[in-house]
Chain A
Amino acid sequence: MSISPAIQISGLSHHYGPRLALDGLDLVVEPAEIFGLLGPNGSGKTTLFRLLSTLIPIQQGSVSILGFDVSRQTAAVRKLLGVVFQAPSLDKKLTVDENLLHQGRLYGLRGAGLRRRRNEMLARLGLADRRGDLVETLSGGLRRRVELAKGLLHQPRLLLLDEPSTGLDPGARGDLWQYLRQVRDEDQVTVVLTTHLLEEADKADRLAIFNTGRLVALDTPDRLRAQVGGDSLSITTDGPAELAADIARQFDLPVAVVDGSVRLEQPDAHQLVPRLVQAFPDRIQSIVLGKPTLEDVFIARTGHRFHHDPAEVAVGN
């Protein structure tokens, strides 16, 4: 039996009016992995989420989910999907139980089967004692857990989450990840989530990094970091361009200017620190040595910082 990829995307592009939000994306997500879509606001990851969740129609290119074409077999795809939106989707005037009841019926569950699934989800997510409470009386963390219960109630094969950690405290975030790993391991559910948080993306099994509608990196977080080429040095100075040119000349190294600071990546970067400070004692205000992070990966691939353009953040979607 051939196992289809969880998601297969080819040549996917999407416009909002004249603005190109996704530009010719090709991507494969394997079954039973936790796959992160990382990108700053406006990078196209939310558009991709909407396309995968069937909320907006595909304009160009194709997407298949577990072997079903999203455009032509939308109904089949929808049954396999569990979707947890960033904006809450709970009816606040209803109880936890009632929310799950309606959700179950929208997916064709009923009677004893629905009751059993509902009890199971409430127990697994530690919501059993709150089941009769109106959602509007619950805390943000509890609501997110109800969202998760709602998304998983019909036993989807693919769970899509849009910025799932938004508004959660660190404890609740930890619980969420523990639970995502549990559904991956025990139920073989593929989990795809968007995030703009670098530390969250680090927890994914594999990661796709987006920038301005394009895929700029795709691998496990560890391998992505390993590709950066060593530790990074970030130097603050009054004249970054001149300093970068001087360092490049004097030390014969690749040097870049990123958002107003001089930046270089070297396997033995720590040995460079005293030499640089000695060579340019008056021109270096500060110098920071860092192990490669996903931010470094992003910078290496795009030439700018992850959260760099306030205008784009304001436009964001």
Chain B
Amino acid sequence: MATEPARRIATPAGSAPPASTGRSFLAGNQQPAASNYAWLAAGTLCSRELVRFVRQRNRVIGAIGQPVLFWVLFGAGLGPTFRLPGAGDAVSYREYFFPGTLALILLFTAIFTTISIIEDRREGFLQSVLVAPIPRWSLVLGKLLGGTLIALAQGLLFLLLGLTVGFSFTPLGLAAIVLFAFVLAFALTGLGFVIAWRLDSTQGFHAIMSVVLLPMWLLSGAFFPPDPSASLGTAWLAWIMRVNPLTYGVAGLRRLLYWGSDVALPLELPSLAACWAVTLLFAAVTFVLALQAAGKRTTGDLL
């Protein structure tokens, strides 16, 4: 028996706190304890994201197609004139742009998966999750893990393309890239969640994408390196790039792509340790912000 009405009715716990009440009336049933329960819920919400993404193939194409197209076209168009300062012809633009494109794929996928919060809200699915007996963190974690795994899968596909421009991966190197990309994707999905939770239209999200998220990516060293001479005219740009957390994400991917190879990067990149630290912090902060956002009820909950 999954439920026993008599027992449930017989356990009104006067002033006991909610958590202990929840456990007490589950005790003796076959239902899992409340903590497992939250993980089960997170897992099921995550798997729902994966299934939905696979069913909506146009999204798969959108999230990976555009960055790859950018990579091919900018690589072809800017390749002849691009010279990495101090590196001569050693690094082609296609090679320089590769980690940035990987970051763009993670960013786009994070956006596309979190935009679904707005759809979930509008289509009503979210209401039934909001009244389910699960803590809000399991809702947030399910959504973020789903988005992260989708982003990671797309990123891996793109890494295969990297073999064509001369990157080669040791198993350990690949594992490090995947792990780093996971943390970065989690951070970006968290950022998308924080933005999407408060919005009631996908148009609003597109506006924020254009004026916040894409510039953040453009100024992350993904598209062009900071000017090493940092003349007065571009000093502000260098500063923005320095405080942009995504700079450390892109730099981390770039460093890991060359990890263990002899190629010396003629770039002033943050150290790998700094990249890990900032990206982990970025992920932790967006997760906390997402939790806070989800704890608030918005008028959009009321359809």
Which B-chain residue is minimally distant from A95 (CB atoms)? B51
Which of B27-35, B90-98, B172-180 lies at the interface?
Answer: B27-35
Select one of A72, A113, A150, A188 contacting B30, CB under 8 A: A113
Residues of B within 8 A of A13 (CB): none
Beta-carbon contacts under 8 Å, A158-195 to B: 188
Which of A102-110, A124-132, A215-223, A305-313 lies at the interface?
Answer: A102-110
B52 touches A94 (CB 8 A): yes
B301 to chain A, nearest CB (A): 6
Select one of B6, B12, B31, B41 contacting A67, CB under 8 A: B12
Select one of A81, A103, A157, A317 contacting B5, CB under 8 A: A157
Which B-chain residue is minimally distant from A56 (CB atoms)? B297
Q: Does B166 reach chain A (CB closer than 8 Å)?
A: no
B128 touches A150 (CB 8 A): yes
Q: Does A101 reach chain B (CB closer than 8 Å)?
A: yes
A54 touches B124 (CB 8 A): no
A76-B25, A106-B41 known; A89 and B124 CB under 8 Å? yes
Residues of B within 8 A of A304 (CB): none
Report the Cα distance A89→B131, complex, angstroms: 11
Select one of A31, A54, A101 contacting B44, CB under 8 A: A101
A214 to chain B, nearest CB (A): 21
Number of interface residues of B (CB under 8 A): 50
A4-B9, A93-B52, A110-B40 known; A73 and B21 CB under 8 Å? yes
B22 touches A79 (CB 8 A): yes
A76 touches B44 (CB 8 A): no
Report the Cα distance A214→B3, complex, angstroms: 36
B303 touches A72 (CB 8 A): no
Residues of B within 8 A of A94 (CB): 48, 51-52
Which B-chain residue is minimally distant from A80 (CB atoms)? B8
Interface 0/1 of B190-206, CB less than 8 Å to A: 00000000000000000
Task: Add 20 more A-B contacts to A105-B41, A109-B2 (CB < 8 A).
Answer: A53-B131, A55-B297, A68-B12, A72-B18, A75-B19, A75-B34, A76-B13, A85-B127, A86-B303, A87-B303, A88-B124, A90-B124, A90-B125, A105-B44, A106-B41, A106-B128, A108-B32, A108-B133, A110-B32, A154-B3
